[in-house]
Structure 1
């Protein structure tokens, strides 16, 4: 009975860590952004430079702890580490739930969004099983020789770190954000007629005979005119329905908001996304200018979208002798659209059909058929994902094949 409970606890806690670590590993920039949110919330802006390294490190740590628990590798050490890890983050999520400095803890990246209270109670459930494992750690043993456990540990660290680094210098292998390839942007902005509306609570502060009192909308003394209004405060109780895409706005410096017009174009639309335009290097700018010329020759539209000032944007044209046409958008939204600065989107009739990291921009000569180029990119991305999957499968099968009958305590 106890052995069954220990095995279930080990696999349950381990699977949670594996999922949490993997969805962070495929989006290291997103992890870095979430750390930046934490640093700002707790007034630790001087740690901003650690955001990306900590995002990758946390993903590797969570995934590795989870896979070690599942396959019973270094069970005592891993159980102790996971207990300490969960204890810290359970306390942290309690603070987040009470004071709400950030709206989303980011524990499952963009794959699953939880409120801070949902995250806290989720951690409490996992903590029950992690505590049981920690208290019974002396009875845990591994069926693998020590050298094989070390080899397995190293292989898993290299594998998940490899996924994270690949997703950093290219694009995430899996895209959980609302701007994934295949997304029809206008549909993602629709609010259903029966969607829940935001709920607010308004409190009125009134004064009478030098005594101040608070009233709600229900008990407001409408018939007693001797009360004098002093102030009011409004509290958001429920945000209501929020569409997956709610802040996608493309602002033209002269024509204003042209989002709707661009999303209904028959011709292909290329958007270069650059939250901070000063990060664009000369080599990349020249390559984008060549793509712009090739796209325009095929009747496609080509814009550079940034949250930087138009003055900074025009400096790019002057410095690199380019002729980009600029649009402006929200910085947070642009960072969400594509994890690359700059990155390129191909949109046809409002649907995202292609996304490129600046390291993977196609040659200008391939712009004669942009849709074909986008489809080939997706095939390459699927092949890379399969390669990573096969490597992981081989490593896991090797661990099972090499299983020893000797019980070796770590």
Structure 2
């Protein structure tokens, strides 16, 4: 058990249902904690922030972690947790709203009505005469292409099928869980280009990485149908907005619906930008807060790792009162050195699990007797060890 309550710095408004998962007495949460054990964050940019050396974990109450210096935290052996899928239903519903906005010309139609003169004697006639300019089409029978088949992409595909749409999907790195949840009716696309050429609607659901930056841009946007609708509720940067504006102006694209206003698209009559509403529902905010708080607590108290973007998934049930958690570079003979250091101290290893992910490896070790500070210091001195935490069982 920790000799004091865990202290968690909260950088944004986090749903109370999430903070309530960190029990009073065992945890202190607040915005003015100087030496926190962990950080809870939503949208605050942590790149310019001096993150105290006391920080053992960071939890993002959402999916993306672009606002967190993940690489720097990895070098310190600090996991960065997120909440994948917790906001999936909220984003799915907004994608459906975006498709309907484009198909039924709802944005210009609403502007038309908003500009009407309520006192005009021929208001009804003006409405009837004007509505022909906003005639749209139905979603049923149209083809939706989904790029990225994680939790959100799968939900979008399933919802579209239930609306009578044809769906094709592309994700070269689809997980086994996602593949199982993907409706059988989804046609497999062979590439991003395949999706763009054959879909009237294209919805993107990928993280922003160097490999996905400008995933849809000047090189491939010309492949889309001239009346196609491009939807980006993923991340700003996966679509080249300047290329989109050029395509809209040249009538090589019908609509661009996104969640990321920026100067390139603001004011364009064929672009609808929402103020980053994807996860802005009460339910999504609560789901994200609860999920990431549970993950932080499990790590701080037991060293278990679930949904960290820079650590492997590791979970080991307690089989002794004394546990050591070690983050280290994924290089040969680390386990041998860890085991030797413990054996030299007369510690018997009761249970051990070690997993790796890229350059990062993580080890949990349960031993049969208390671990002295000198042993922990010896473990920290091993070249390649990034962080060592001693986690005796809570009383």
Tell me which interval the TM-score lies in, with the shorter structure as reference length: under 0.3
Q: Which has the higher strand share?
A: 2
* TM-score, normalising length: structure 1: 0.19
Q: Which has the higher helix share?
A: 1
